[in-house]
Amino acid sequence: MTSLASVAGHLNVEVDGASVSVRTLLEDMRLVAFRFKIPLQESPLQVYFSAVPFSPASSAFHRLFVNKRPSGVPAPQVVRGGWTDWKGGMDAPNGCVKGAAFSPDRSRIAAACSDQRVMVLDASTGSEVQAMVGHAGWVNSAAFSGDGRFLVSGSDDRTVRVWEMATGRAVARLEGHTDWVTAVAFSPDGQLVASGGYDRTMRVWRVSTGKVTHAIKTRSQPLVAIAFSESGEQVKGWDGVSKVVWDLHSGRLAATPEADPRLHAGSVVNSGAGWAESRHFAVRFWMPPEFWGEHLIVSGPLLVAYGAGTFLIVKHSFLGV
């Protein structure tokens, strides 16, 4: 008796202008049902929100559904690779990535690495284009200046360094922290740098002189994120539990914090277990485990997931423009 699988192997359907065996298509459908069981149980539309964007572009399933989305559903981004070698993003830089940041034009990603370097990656390919070398300990955080000409980094060697992108040269070495530096940021005008770390202080430095303009004792937990407000008059810190805001004029906690989203910048919320909620389109989508990381940063349609041995660059139409 002829098996159904044997018959399916001899039947073909047209997919994206090419002939594909029914057996191949059924196998892809099986993989989709297995891999995307969680979102598909929530809603059939998750086929377009989650399964199509995060399925390999070479798969028969992706090619069949990519142009059949309902009206109003944005076109999904193509993910490279096949089912067996699917990584969903780019290869991780050398060493564990402790922090990451986008350049203002989204063309570059700075990766703060445990191998004591700050790697600069091409956001479209994930390839290394530059490396800043000079720290003597793990690099925990990095941030670009508003004009993209400079990069600041903080390290376990207790220093904050400012790098010139054009040359890769360190133009400032800021010393004063007495323990690991875990968070750094540029002011909007690029004249100041804020830093925080395990010595439980927040420091503001003037880049041109290397001098501290403010040194403020933080709460009991070290800062893991820091950012200036849009006006540059306030600095916001996040210790993993709560957010605090300092007014630079008074050096005290701000009574009326400015509304500013940049400390948790981006149009996506990592809601756990693979789910991410897009504020831009008021929908949520599910990312397979290959995309999960301890941290997410977003700029326009680009998402970087990093931490716990993960470093992935994802482009998804639901993230924005």
Q: Name the phi and psi angles at 22, rounded to 5.
A: -60, -35
pLDDT at 56: 81
Q: Which residues pair with 197 in a beta bridge?
A: 181
Angle (CA) 89 53 104, round 5°: 55
Separation CA 296–CA 285 (nearest Å): 14
Residue 281 CB partners (closer than 8 Å, separation 6+): 74, 318
- Give the end-to-end CA distance of the chain in Å, rounded to a whole number: 55
Q: For 158-209, how does the pLDDT look when each residue is reduced to its tens digit (9 = 90+)? A: 999 999 999 999 999 999 999 999 999 999 999 999 999 999 999 999 999 9
Are β-strands 283-286 and 275-278 bridged in parallel, bridged antiparallel, or unpaired? antiparallel
Separation CA 161–CA 141 (nearest Å): 11
**Order of strands, edge to edge, in the sheet holding 192-197?**
181-186, 192-197, 201-206, 211-217
Instruction: Give the max Cα distance, the chain.
Output: 86
CB 199 within 8 A of CB 218: no
Q: Which residues pair with 160 in a beta bridge?
A: 154, 174
What's the predicted TM-score (pTM) here?
Answer: 0.73
Asked if pLDDT for residue 265 goes beyond 50, the answer is no
Q: For 23-59, how does the pLDDT look when each residue is reduced to its tens digit (9 = 90+)? A: 888 888 888 888 888 888 888 888 888 888 888 878 8
State how far the alpha carbon of 85 is from the alpha carbons of 29, 51, 82, 88, 314, in Å.
Answer: 17, 17, 6, 9, 16
Q: For 71-103, how does the pLDDT look when each residue is reduced to its tens digit (9 = 90+)? A: 767 665 655 555 544 434 444 555 678 889 999
